[in-house]
Each structure stands twice: as C-alpha cells, then as structure tokens.
Amino acid sequence: MEEKEKEKIEQQPESCNSDCSSCASAGNCSSQPGSMIEETNSFNDIKKVIGVVSGKGGVGKSLVTSLMAVNMSRLGHKTAILDADVTGPSIPKAFGIKEKATANELGIFPVRTKTGIGTISVNNLLENDTDPVVWRGPIIAGTVKQFWTDVLWGDVDYMFVDMPPGTGDVPLTVFQSLPVDGIIVVSSPQELVSMIVAKAVKMAEMMNIPVLGLVENMSYLKCPDCGKEIPVFGESKAQQAAEEYGIELLGRIPIDPKLAAACDKGMIELYEGTWLDEAAGKIEAL
C-alpha cells in the first residue's frame, strides 16, 4: 500500500463515512470530510461524477448508464463512462467496443465509442473478453480507483460510473474515493417491492451522497399493435416507492426488444426514446 494511502487510513476512525455530525471522534480527528477522495490525473478536468447503482444485478443498471451517457453526449456535453462493475462489465458490449486500451508513461487512454464517449472497463484491459475476473475485493476496488486516478480522461463534463450491484466493497470504495455528485438508482418493478432498493438508497445517504432519483426499468411492455401499456409485473410501484424513500422518480423505461437488441449488437448509441430526458435535465441542472 502506498504511504499516502496508509497515512489517510491511520488518520481516520475506522468507520469514517465522512459524516462528522454523527461521529464520536468529531473534533478529535485530523481528517476532513471527503479526505479519502483520490486526486484524479492532473491532466483531467472532470466536472460532474454520477454513480448509477442498483440493489441487485440484471435490472438494467448498465443499460441506464449507457443511455444516460448517450443522452448527455447528444445534448452536446463531453461525456465519459467508468465501468466499475469489474466482475460483470457490460459497457464495451453495449457500445460495440472490442479494442484494448493503450497507455503511455502518463496514463491509460480511455477507449472512445463511435460518438466519442470516453470509456474504460476491465474488458479493455483483459486479453480475452471472456476471461473471468477472479480477484479479491481489495484488488477489484484498487482497479476501480486506478480507473479514476490513472486514466487520461481529459476534459469531461459528465462522467457516469456503472457501479457493481449491491452495497459491497466496490460501491463503498467508489463513494469514498471518487467525488460523486449524485447517484441514480435503477430498479425493476419486482425489486421495488422488496427492501433491496431501500438498502442502496440508505447507503448513499450514509455516505452523504445525494440521490438524484429513481429510474424504474422494465416498467411495462408496449403492445406493438395498439400501443397499450401492459404492466407485465403488475401496476408500477415506482411513484409510491420514490415517495417512500423521499426521492424523485426520474423515469420509467419499458421492456423493449429493440433495446435488448441494440445492447447485444453494440449499437446502443442508435437507440431512440425519451424515457430518460427528465433525468438528463436533472443532471444538467446540477
């Protein structure tokens, strides 16, 4: 472990969540809130960092990350995606990226999508896309930190971080090490009736990270013949859940075979849909 990092850990109470208001060591602690935040590469100027989280896997978190990045890029902003889902990376596939990342003595170059979104994912570094990442938690967390510190992102208006699902080691590292300006919580309708989403929301609150809102994915199915919305998993509970958690409902995305096909073919940049326009507006207003 680097000396700098060791020092930081020694200075802070073990359970530091950067919230001094609830800490017994407040006032006796040499750390300042947010002091575990890592500096990004000196060549970078990253203005806003948005985490995309979910309670569990397979609910469309990577899809929402990709759609949000495409939306912001279409609005004319310099956009990037840091794929922190190291054991289940989906970003290169959604954008049809096969290239490996290159580097020089100053850092690693992000891999650009067809429309110029800068991305980095563990799959850009592995020899084979299908090689599993069988690494211990601290190594995975260290990799994510390096994606922040060692990648030459350049000038970025909005960086989206595709977080691993749940409330484990890596989300904790991202919240502590990256200056996250807010998170978007993605959920499927079934997940909303369980307590899983609440845990993700509460974790962000514990870490003093603003929750920008909730996106309900796979919310309904639109009949291709008559356009009627079919609530496959029952009537949407998204509004009710958002109110319960005290957060905003940013959007509802239908189950759409075209979306699945766009992801599978690496053509997510061609999607058409206005489901996340409100979320984009909210982020622009940050």
What residues line the site for ligand ADP (CB under 6 A)?
54, 57-63, 90, 217-218, 253, 255-256, 259-260, 263
DSSP classification of residue 212? E
Give the amino acid at 62.
S
Write down the least CB distance from residue 257 to ligand ADP, Å.
6
Write down the least CB distance from residue 255 to ligand ADP, Å.
4
Query: Given the complex with ligand ADP, which of 61 and 282 has the nearer CB atom?
Result: 61
Angle, helices 196-206 vs 238-245, to 10°: value is: 30
Write down the least CB distance from residue 84 to ligand ADP, Å.
11
Residue 58, C-beta contacts closer than 8 angstroms, at least 6 positions apart: 188
Q: Are 58 and 218 in contact (CB under 8 A)?
A: no
Q: Are 184 and 213 in contact (CB under 8 A)?
A: yes
Query: Given the complex with ligand ADP, which of 23 and 122 has the nearer CB atom?
Result: 122
Query: Given the complex with ligand ADP, which of 50 and 108 has the nearer CB atom?
Result: 50
**Cα–chain-centroid distance for residue 79?**
13
Write down the least CB distance from residue 265 to ligand ADP, Å.
10
Query: Given the complex with ligand ADP, which of 4 and 228 has the nearer CB atom?
Result: 228
Residue 65's beta-bridge partner residues?
none
Write down the least CB distance from residue 100 to ligand ADP, Å.
21
Write down the least CB distance from residue 267 to ligand ADP, Å.
11
Write down the least CB distance from residue 264 to ligand ADP, Å.
6
Query: Given the complex with ligand ADP, which of 34 and 231 has the nearer CB atom?
Result: 231
Query: Given the complex with ligand ADP, which of 58 and 281 has the nearer CB atom?
Result: 58
d(CA 79, CA 76): 9
> Order of strands across the sheet with 182-187?
111-112, 118-120, 79-83, 155-162, 45-54, 182-187, 211-216, 249-252
Query: Given the complex with ligand ADP, which of 88 and 154 has the nearer CB atom?
Result: 88
DSSP classification of residue 209? -
Q: Would residue 84 be called left, alpha or beta, if left means φ above 0 and alpha means ψ between -120 and 50 degrees?
A: alpha
